[in-house]
A = this chain, B = another copy of it.
Amino acid sequence: MKKPIQQHFSVPFQYQVHFTRAIFDKNNPLFAHTVKSDLVPKVFFIIDQGVAEAHPNLINQIEAYAEAYKHIFQLCGRSLIVPGGEQSKNTNRYFQQILEATHTFGIDRHSYVVALGGGAVLDMAGFASAVAHRGIRHIRIPTTVLSQNDSGVGVKNGINSFGKKNFLGTFAPPFAVINDVAFLTTLDDRDWRAGISEAIKVALIKDASFFQWIEKQASSLASRQMEPMETLIYRCAEMHLEHIASGDPFEMGSSRPLDFGHWAAHKLEQLTAYQIRHGEAVTIGMALDATYSYLKNMLSAEELHRIVQLMKTLGFDLYVPELSNQEVLNGLDEFREHLGGELTIMLLNAIGQGVEVHEMDKHLLQEAISKLKKFQEADLKV
């Protein structure tokens, strides 16, 4: 028999994450510069309904901007408005609408599909962009804290299917990401707060001094001051991007160190029918795994106290009734299935120091859940 042929190659990816204010102000050339090429490319917009409602002038602004820069790019039809939040991912309806538009407008691999909205809309639109013509250039304009500092700047996309979160999706780096701070002003308090969870996450597993900084800024963040929020988003996005670039960008191994707090979070989102925000669920998930780390004698009582104190100061709940549902523990098995292979869970040895384990004691988890219930009832004593 002929000898096997060994195939190997590397594919380089690059993109910029921009920070701006008032992206569709005609005096702001950033968007036009981003799509500029030898041709006059087609650009198709998908817009989160919640953002369109909070910014009633947005669509007009985009159309006026496109008119002003028509020598640089060409708008395709009207923007597609899709419901925000998990609704946009729970069906393949909006995903199909984007594919249909791609077909109708003859959008090609050098055209742009631009998604503007929260993380769920970006995930869904990113998946459609990744599979139409095997990948159309995709620009993300994240409008929430969470999407600006985490999901929107990364390489994953997806929709939910068979009741499983992100059951369908790909790893596909965007063409560019543009974070516009102006969208943060109209967020409701829950969304403002929920996005801070990913910053707490990266701080807890990697950067004790960032954690200290968040502790100092906690009251300013809780009272919606923009300057510390911009700094928080920048640092969190930067750490998230570093993590992707230095590790295993397409997660071909089993390790998922950035998924701290996520196994229970995914399950809680499901059990509450997505009534709690992803960031709210992640905070509870982190509080759970931090408490478990304490019960396992890995994390000190004092550090656990600082963690739950910070969450409280920011206004997070540490417990919801669904956390006591037996189903939550099945989340471990589903998480293992999603990772593939061995279960890998991040716990804490200290603030700023995550550590991976491959099993969890369900009895101790029950105990941790009871403790969270007490913390929630204002008893922060560890």
Task: Show the binding face of A for B, using Cβ within 8 Å.
Answer: 1-21, 37-39, 99-100, 103, 106, 108-111, 127, 130-136, 153, 156, 158, 161-162, 164, 166-171, 173, 230, 234, 237-238, 241, 244-246, 249-251, 254, 336-342
Contacts and interface: CB of A to CB of B under 8 A. Distances in A.
A170 B130 contact: yes
For A12, A109, A134, A234, the residue with the greatest tally of chain B CB atoms inside 10 Å of its CB is A134
Given A108-B337, A131-B169, A8 B103 contact: no
Contacts of A38: 341
B170 A7 contact: no
Given A4-B18, A9-B246, A109-B340, 18 more contacts: A1-B20, A1-B21, A2-B234, A4-B16, A5-B153, A5-B234, A7-B16, A7-B244, A8-B15, A9-B244, A10-B12, A39-B342, A100-B162, A103-B167, A130-B170, A131-B168, A132-B167, A135-B250
Contact of A164 (B103, B230, B254): B103
A7 B15 contact: yes
Nearest to A173: B7
Contact of A13 (B11, B21, B106, B162): B11
Contacts of A9: 12-14, 244-246, 249
Contacts of A234: 2, 5
A106 B336 CA distance: 10
A313 to B, nearest CB: 25
A111 B340 contact: yes
A14 B7 CA distance: 5
A169 B2 contact: no
B109 A339 contact: yes
A156 B136 CA distance: 15
Contact of A230 (B2, B11, B168, B336): B2
Contacts of A12: 8-10
A261 to B, nearest CB: 20
For A2, A106, A111, the residue with the greatest tally of chain B CB atoms inside 10 Å of its CB is A2
B4 A19 contact: yes
Given A108-B339, A132-B168, A134-B156, A14 B20 contact: no
Contacts of A111: 340
Contact of A170 (B21, B134, B339): B134
Contacts of A135: 170-171, 250
A161 to B, nearest CB: 7
Given A21-B1, A237-B5, A238-B5, A108 B13 contact: no
A42 to B, nearest CB: 10
A130 B158 CA distance: 12
A199 to B, nearest CB: 15
A7 B338 contact: no
B14 A11 contact: no
Contacts of A244: 7, 9
Contact of A133 (B11, B127, B340): B340
A246 B10 CA distance: 10
A38 B341 CA distance: 9
Which 5 A-B residue pairings sit nearest by Cβ, starting from the closest?
A: A109-B340, A110-B340, A110-B341, A8-B14, A108-B340
A59 B76 CA distance: 50
A5 B104 CA distance: 35
Contacts of A103: 161-162, 164, 167
B7 A166 contact: no
Nearest to A168: B131
